[in-house]
Amino acid sequence: MAEARLVIGSRGSKLALHQANWVKTGLQNLFPYLDVEIRIIKTSGDVLADAPLNKIGGKGLFTKEIEEALLGHRVDLAVHSLKDLPTVLPEGLALATITRREDARDALLSTRYRNLDELPEGARVGTSSLRRQSQLLHFRGDLKIQNLRGNVDTRLRKLDEGQFEGIILACAGLIRLGYSDRITETIPVERLCPAVGQGALGIETRQADAFTLEKVQRLDHAETHIAVAAERAFLKRLGGGCQVPIAGYARVENQILQMLGVIASPDGKQLFRDTQETKVSSSESAAIAGVQMAERMLSAGAQAIVVPS
């Protein structure tokens, strides 16, 4: 067979390139004749590396330029941390594949304290996420949440320099980069609900590119895809981005979708939590369940947070 070529668009961070290389290896193992190249694309989120995400409009910050490259046929597929991918995609693009989820939970990293409960009163905790901030302040209102941006190595360096008593990072990225030994506490989802899609990779392609679609769909993980469909439908119905603290986590076992949703005010003083179990058979039925949870939480009073008066 004549050689065929695919170009992957990726951010240039160590974690992004690790994820892109994982997809590249997977494609080449499945299709040895494929020539797969990774093209690094700098995004707005990379350029504005120090500003708080909620202040610079987080939705699409890490994806917009890569999607433009896709639409311009400069790359054939994009590999995203799925939590960074907006729920509404540009016309002509599709979320073709969702990979098997790594650990979706958040982690506390600390050089002195074993868990969140051991952090002293007024402890400085670093995170760039309003979602994490709101939930942490809900049960530890004394904590001093401080902005922490940068790649994983930069964040670890700031912790080791003593700028924080603890920092919060996603388990998935730490595991993928070989830093699982730095995890002090893996935080249960019931205490710190993850970001929608956290731990999974999303592969985005052009809708009309049948060749690429057929290839990347071989990397799809059905149960993860169904679970994340519920989470993304939940978030889409709420219209939330980085400016509203919204969290959602779902898992599928024996066709039963177990889902947790959290909507909170940034200061953590208001927090709505809901859980549900639903029998599902597809991504479509899971998405319906996600919308139903969102509707129920809005009716219970979360509307005031999502769309404040």
Radius of gyration of the chain (CA): 19
Which strands form 256-264's sheet, in the order they lie side by side?
A: 246-253, 256-264, 271-279
Residue type, 44: S
| Torsion on CA atoms 152, 78, 251, 171, rounded to nearest 10 | -10
Which strands form 106-109's sheet, in the order they lie side by side?
A: 144-146, 124-126, 166-170, 106-109, 185-187
Tally of CB atoms within 10 A around 273 = 17
Catalytic hit among 84, 103, 106, 209 = 84
Helix axes 152-160, 14-30, angle to 10 degrees: 140
Q: What angle do CA 290, 294, 298 make, to 5 degrees?
A: 170
* Phi, then psi, of 237 in degrees rounded to 5: -65, -35
Residue type, 61: L
Helix (H, G, I), strand (E, B) or coil at 294: helix
Q: Is 84 a catalytic residue?
A: yes
Are 259 and 249 a contacting pair, CB within 8 Å?
yes
Token pair, residue 307, equals: 């769309």
Catalytic residues: 84
